[in-house]
Amino acid sequence: MHMADALLSPLVGGVMTAVSAGAAGYAVKQIAGDKLDEKKIPMMGVMGALVFAGQMINFTIPGTGSSGHIGGGILLAALLGPFPALLTLASVLLIQCLFFADGGLLAFGCNVFNMGVIACLFAYPLIFKPLVSRGMDKKRIVIASVAAVEAGLQAGAFCVVLETLFSGVTELPFGAFLLLMQPIHLAIGLVEGLVTAGVLCYVHSARPELLDSAANNAPIPIAIPMKKVLITFGILAALTGGLLSLFASAYPDGLEWSMEGVAGTAELEREGQVYETVSTLVESTAFMPDYGFAGDEEGSALGTAAAGIVGSGITVILAGGIGFVIRAVRRKSAAL
């Protein structure tokens, strides 16, 4: 559900960038208080890498000619807490935009809001947490995961439609676009919800303290070893990005499919200085556009695998680095 710049007016793109920046700033403030312990910093990097790799794998929605991929917001929030999760997912989206030309720079604020803010700051605390608060077992985890992911995706898809409406994208009439976006993302949400539940059920079996820590906004107990979980998810991220990504569905994702159903194309064009500027900037930074080697229009398997591994590695550095910097600044401020 990565929006391209052509779907937005500069005004809507600017406003949503400000909204998402405000949400990220609020998350930083919350973390800088007392809500990030040292054990979650490497988790931010590793889980960010897993979500990056997971988003490369589009799964087919049978009978539709469409596909979908995970958003990852509920998964991250359930393991890290909502505020570290939002910053981690924003890191993933920024890397995808700047280095892989996936999602526009003007649309970055919309993508963070639609996929991150809604899932992490609303769907997780309002739906997931209440459903598991009376006792976290595998049945409740499955129900909570599917319900929270579905709610987050439906709200995010609706926001996409609203953002194109307010941007004056006449090629995508509100009613027709809405009638395609909502049902297809309902199907995508079911798959993502089950994938999220599968990962969380594994964590519940291996290290239930992680889920309890996020749900109760508490630090992970010092005596709890994290090495096995970090290695497991690190290997899973590498395998997902470097191998499983080769088997991604070739069908258009839910947003592209809906656009084609309404406008007959998934690639709208917009002219203007703002669009030219952001396009030029992304072209200068995207060293592996469309998750492949630059100039490789066929999209080789080697290029896709390399993009998955490189992108996951960059995500580990950026997402983990954000947590480390916030932690270091907090410690320095406390010492003054």
Joined together, the tokens standing for residue 78 give 């359930």
Q: What is the mean pLDDT of residues 68-91?
A: 96
CA atoms 236, 238, 244, 249: torsion sign: positive
Residue 191 contacts residue 59 (beta carbons within 8 Å): yes
**Domain boundary assignment for the chain:** 5-25+36-271+286-335
State the CB neighbour count (10 A cutoff) for residue 211.
18
Other C-beta atoms closer than 10 Å to the C-beta of 3 total: 24
Give the CA distances from residue 157 to residues 7, 153, 186, 322, in Å, rounded to whole numbers and listed in that order.
13, 6, 9, 28
Confidence band (pLDDT; 50, 70, 90) for 35?
A: low
Mean pLDDT, to the nearest integer, of 263-289?
95
Percentage with pLDDT > 70 across the chain: 97
Q: Is the pLDDT of residue 43 over 60?
A: yes
Q: Is the pLDDT of residue 55 over 90?
A: yes
Tens of pLDDT, residue by residue over 254-271, are: 999 999 999 999 999 999
- Topology (CATH) of 5-25+36-271+286-335: Arp2/3 complex 21 kDa subunit ARPC3 (1.10.1760)
The sign of the torsion formed by the CA atoms of 275, 276, 281, 283 equals: positive
pLDDT at 34 over 70: no
C-alpha angle 94-95-101 in degrees, rounded to nearest 5: 90
Give the Å distances, CA to CA, from 42 to 52, 96, 187.
Answer: 15, 20, 32
Question: Taking all residues of the chain, what is their mean pLDDT, rounded to a whole number?
Answer: 93
Counting other chains too, the contacts that 239-244 makes at CB distance below 8 Å and 24 or more residues apart are 240/50, 240/53, 240/54, 240/56, 240/57, 240/308, 241/49, 241/52, 241/53, 241/56, 241/305, 241/307, 241/308, 241/309, 241/311, 241/312, 242/305, 242/306, 242/308, 242/309, 243/305, 244/53, 244/57
Smallest CA-to-CA distance from 284 within 269, 294, 274 is with 294
User: Any idea what DSSP says for residue 227?
Assistant: H
Mean pLDDT of the region 201-209: 92
Q: Mean pLDDT over residues 51-74, rounded?
A: 96
In the numeric block, the tokens 């999220």 are attached to 196
Tokens representing residue 170 in the block = 């006449």
Which pLDDT score is estimated for 240? 96
pLDDT mean over 4-31: 96
The 10s digit of each residue's pLDDT in 98-150 is 999 999 999 999 999 999 999 999 999 999 999 998 888 999 999 999 999 99
